[in-house]
C-alpha cells in the first residue's frame, strides 16, 4: 500500500494519494505462498489473498458501516476477509479483519472523502497514529486459543470452503 499524507499533516496537499491503495504486485505467486505459509506456521493466521492485493484493514464494525454507507450512496464495494483462523477441533473459521478490495477507495469523490465522518480508524489515524488492530489481534490470540492441527494447505482449503470463496487466492 502507498500513502502520502493527511489533512492534519502540515505537508498535506489534499491530493488524495492516501486513498489510492494498491501498487503493482511486488511478490511472485511462489513468494506469496511462501510468505503466507510462514505466517501460518508462526501464528496460525491464514491470509487468503496475495499480499499485494491487501489494502486498509477493517474491523467487523467498520465493514458493516462501509457497507451501509455504500448502500446509502449507491456505491458498489467489495470487502473480503484479510486475516482468518481455522479451528480444526470445532470446524470453525474466525475472521480477524477485512480489507477493502479496490485500487482506489470507492468513497473518494472529486478528490474528497464522501464518508469523512464515518471513515475507518486507519484513515483517521494516518499518518500520525497506529491502528489498535494489531493489539486487537494479539488480544484475540491470547484470549481464544485456536487449535489447528492441519497443514497450511488443508487449513486454506477449509477456510475457503467455509467462507465459500471462489475468487483467485493463494
93-113: average pLDDT: 92
Domain that holds residue 149: 17-163
Domain count, the chain: 1
In 3D space, the residue among 25, 21, 24 whose CA is nearest the CA of residue 2 turns out to be: 21
Residue 12 domain flag: no
Surface-to-core class of residue 124, CB atoms within 10 Å of its CB (0-12 exposed, 13-18 middle, 19+ buried): middle
Residue 54 domain flag: yes
Neighbours of 82 (CB within 10 A): 24
Residue 149 domain flag: yes
The whole-angstrom separation of Cα 163 and Cα 2 is 29
Residue 68 domain flag: yes
Residues 55-83 pLDDT 10s: 888 999 999 999 999 999 999 999 999 99
Q: 143 or 44, which is more confident?
A: 44
- pLDDT-derived band of residue 168, with 50, 70 and 90 as boundaries? very low
Output the nine-digit C-alpha cell for 110: 472529486
Residue 50 domain flag: yes
Residues 12-42 pLDDT 10s: 667 777 788 777 778 888 999 999 999 899 8
Residue 44 domain flag: yes
Residue 6 domain flag: no
Which pTM does this prediction carry? Answer: 0.79
Residue 3 domain flag: no
Neighbours of 63 (CB within 10 A): 20
Amino acid at each position: 500500500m502507498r500513502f502520502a499524507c493527511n489533512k492534519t499533516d502540515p505537508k498535506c496537499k489534499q491530493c488524495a494519494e492516501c486513498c489510492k491503495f494498491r501498487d503493482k504486485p511486488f511478490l511472485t505467486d511462489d513468494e506469496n505462498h511462501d510468505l503466507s505459509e510462514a505466517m501460518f506456521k508462526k501464528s496460525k493466521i491464514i491470509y487468503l489473498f496475495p499480499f499485494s492485493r491487501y489494502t486498509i484493514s477493517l474491523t467487523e464494525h467498520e465493514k458493516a458501516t462501509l457497507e451501509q454507507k455504500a448502500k446509502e450512496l449507491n456505491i458498489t464495494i467489495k470487502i473480503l476477509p484479510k486475516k482468518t483462523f481455522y479451528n480444526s477441533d470445532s470446524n470453525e473459521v474466525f475472521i480477524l479483519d477485512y480489507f477493502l478490495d479496490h485500487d482506489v477507495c470507492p468513497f473518494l469523490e472529486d478528490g474528497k472523502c464522501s464518508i469523512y465522518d464515518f471513515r475507518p480508524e486507519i484513515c483517521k489515524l494516518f499518518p500520525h497514529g497506529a491502528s489498535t488492530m494489531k493489539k486487537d489481534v494479539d488480544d484475540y490470540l491470547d484470549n481464544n486459543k485456536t487449535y489447528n492441527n492441519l497443514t497450511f494447505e488443508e487449513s486454506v482449503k477449509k477456510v475457503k470452503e467455509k467462507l465459500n470463496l471462489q475468487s483467485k487466492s493463494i
